[in-house]
Amino acid sequence: MLLQQNWPNNYTDTSIAVMVREPLTEHELRRGELLGQALREARGQRSMVEVAAAAGISTETLRKIEKGRIPTPAFFTVAALADAVGLSLDELRRTILTGQTPPQRPRISA
């Protein structure tokens, strides 16, 4: 949730509104770790470069998601990553909720 805070502006009589994001809860942080873990396991032997390119994101972004350093990535990023590693969003969600290993699918080359 975003909160609005007003900061005084020393140069004019107006204040500056700044949106401040509340810190994530422990549950949200843990869910981000589980998301990263599930994506890492589903990636299998594929390289980060290959999966990141298939999802249309940078390798660094994938690395941060897999390590749980981006615990709440954008929906379309998650959807693209799930597709890149061969998981449906339902399978990914189930994997995160149950903590089970995601199903392994053979990789099909085009």
Is residue 35 in a domain?
Answer: yes
Q: Per-residue pLDDT tens for 63-102?
A: 999 999 999 999 999 999 999 999 999 999 999 998 777 7
- C-beta pairs of 76-83 under 8 Å, 24+ apart in sequence: 78/35, 80/54, 80/55, 80/56, 81/39, 81/51, 81/55, 81/57, 82/39, 83/54, 83/55
pLDDT (0 to 100) of residue 20? 79
Any domain includes 78: yes
Position 67 in a domain: yes
Which residue segment(s) compose the domain that 67 sits in? 25-98
Question: How many domains does the chain contain in total?
Answer: 1
Quote the pTM value.
0.75
Q: DSSP letter for 9, please.
A: -
Task: Answer yes or no: is 16 within a domain.
Answer: no
Is the residue at 50 inside a domain? Answer: yes
Is 60 inside a domain boundary?
A: yes
Q: CATH number of the domain that 84 lies in? A: 1.10.260.40
